[in-house]
Amino acid sequence: MTDYKNLIDGEMVDNGEWLEVLNPANEQVVGRVPACGKDELDRAVAAARRAFKEWKKTSAEKRQKVVQGIAAAIKENADELYRLLTTEQGKPHAQAQQEIYGAAGLAAAQSTLTLDDVVNQDDDTRLSRTRRVPVGVVGGIVPWNFPVMMAIQKIVPALVAGCTIVLKPSPFTPLTTLRIAELIKDVVPAGTVNIITGEDSLGPMITEHPDIDKITFTGSTATGKKIMEGASGDLKRITLELGGNDASIVLPDADVEKVAEQLFWSSFSNAGQVCIAAKRVYIHKDIYDDLSKAIAEYAKTVVVGDGSQQGTGVGPIQNKKQYERVLELIQDAKDNGYKFLTGGDKDPSGTGYYVPITILDNPPEDARIVAEEQFGPVMPLLKFDSVDEVIERANNSEYGLAGAVWTKDTDRGVEIAEQLETGTVWINEFMHLSPFAPFGGHKQSGFGAEYGLDGLKEFTYPQVITVKRDAAV
């Protein structure tokens, strides 16, 4: 077991009080991190405020170079980092590798973004231009499903925009982020990036801190609402990436054999703990029987187990609370007599938070497993008759994060996509995010956007400077 320290003002520090972090595959303690409160937060925010004075004046080129240094540090240490990530998060090694390399790639790609001035008017009477100025000190709060990716997608745009940041990882998955903190300690100027750990109770202290100017948060919709409330005291800027109940729509022309495996992974990657996982899969009645059978057959080939073991496809649920919630949803399906194509029949007791791959056969639309975000390895397959009907069913949700349409007729797919009330829609794929395209939720899936220039702008204020050219002065 290793102790991991926090990064405050360019130093790795601890306060002598510790939180234990478990491996969800065996419930053993794998590391300890500082249990911080108001004092450590105040020190981190003060360091970020001091560093902001210089960092906001640093050239865009220099800021981009620093971010490229972060990307390089992650890439050079990827082997160590992905193993540690599996140990604390549970995801299989291959998926942990994807997250680590993905985070390095995102940092490298987003380091190239710049927000150029925009000329609004340029004539004999006036020159008016809009420049983007950094908002100041950012508070970043991240969840446990993609701890490294989420940390990087907060730190990088903050730095590129000229802000400094105090980041709080989830208490369930802080280890890899703190190891990265150690690796980048001398890459970033002191105080620009501060990473502090603590219980959930540290979150509201960040949200309400008077010297933090903006909150960027990824997590549940319930917590997002509390953050919006907490940030309202001094009208902090906020970006919220929240939950989803994403629908996949499979049209009758889709090739059953080709899409079965892709649909499986669109729901079961990271044990279903992905905000943009397919959480409801609508299949046209003409191919429903064949496709549901093909997905269930494929599911039988996938091994559920410890993510550090070769051959594991689906790891454990990351933490006990989420594990119990997923089991509760499965129990609810059993109690209501819904039909299971796989799962539902095994006793998931024993060490480690394992849930068998569970596929439900056409439960009703108002079943909890359809109406709620399951965030686990449970996939409800649903039968539909007409496109109009399925669009209405897909949109009948408080969430609006993402969705997908599967069809050989991509024009038809786009027509359907344009009628879905979500921030992203894929045709014939799932979960692809571009560092250059905005990612954000409609309705209760979010507020604002991350990624791309839209995401970068959220770390800035517009400032308009107007020069009167024909003034009599």
Residues that bind ligand NAD (CB under 6 A): 141-145, 168, 170-171, 200, 203-204, 207, 218-220, 223, 226-227, 241-244, 275, 373, 375, 401, 441, 446
In the bound complex, what is the minimum distance in angstroms from residue 308's beta carbon to ligand NAD? 22
Phi/psi at 16 (5° precision): 80, -5
Give dist(CA 313, CA 315) in Å, integer. 7
Q: Which is nearer to ligand NAD, 141 or 254 (CB)?
A: 141
Residue with tokens 């989830």: 170
The answer for residues whose C-beta is within 8 angstroms of residue 30's C-beta and 6 or more apart is 1, 2, 21, 22, 23, 87, 88, 175
Residue nearest to ligand NAD (CB): 203
> C-alpha distances in angstroms, 68 versus 294, 382, 394?
44, 45, 40
Closest contact distance (angstroms) between CB of 297 and ligand NAD is 29
Closest separation in Å from C-beta 344 to ligand NAD = 23
Respond yes or no: is residue 275 known to be catalytic: yes
In degrees, rounded to 5, the angle at the alpha carbon of residue 324 between the alpha carbons of residues 225 and 300 is 115
Nearest approach, Cβ of 205 to ligand NAD (angstroms)?
Answer: 8
Start-to-end CA span in the chain (Å): 71
CB-neighbour burial class of residue 425 (10 A; exposed 0-12, middle 13-18, buried 19+): buried
CB 357 within 8 A of CB 325: no
**Long-range pairs for 257-261: beta carbons < 8 A, 24 or more residues apart:** 257/294, 259/291, 259/406, 260/291, 260/294, 260/295, 260/297, 260/298, 261/298
Q: Which lies closer to ligand NAD via its Cβ, residue 265 or residue 461?
A: 265
Residue 144 or 268: the one with the smaller Cβ distance to ligand NAD is: 144
Asked if 114 contacts 441 with a C-beta cutoff of 8 angstroms, the reply is no
Task: State how far the alpha carbon of 213 is from the alpha carbons of 190, 292, 333, 412, in Å.
Answer: 19, 49, 44, 44
Q: Which residue is associated with the tokens 């050989």?
A: 408
Min dist CB 366 to ligand NAD, Å, is 20
Nearest-approach distance from CB 306 to ligand NAD, in angstroms = 22
Minimum CB distance to ligand NAD smaller for 87 or for 218: 218
Catalytic residue among 40, 88, 208, 241: 241
Residue number with CB closer to ligand NAD (203 or 452): 203
Q: In 207-365, which ranges are E strands?
A: 214-218, 237-241, 247-250, 280-284, 303-304, 312-314, 339-342, 358-361
How does DSSP classify residue 82? Answer: H
- 449 close to 455: Cβ distance less than 8 angstroms: yes
Is residue 241 part of the annotated active site? The answer reads: yes
Q: How far is the CB of 207 from ligand NAD (least distance, A)?
A: 5
Residue among 275, 373, 450, 458 flagged as catalytic: 275
* Minimum gap (Å) between residue 465 Cβ and ligand NAD: 35
- DSSP state at residue 450: B
CA distances from 293 to 252, 287, 289, 301, 359 (A): 15, 10, 6, 13, 10
- Nearer to ligand NAD (CB atom), residue 282 or residue 375: 375
Pick between residue 291 and residue 456 the one whose CB is nearest to ligand NAD: 456
- Residue 376's Cβ-count burial label (10 Å; 0-12, 13-18, 19+) is buried
Nearer to ligand NAD, 162 or 438 (CB): 438
Q: Which residues are catalytic?
A: 241, 275
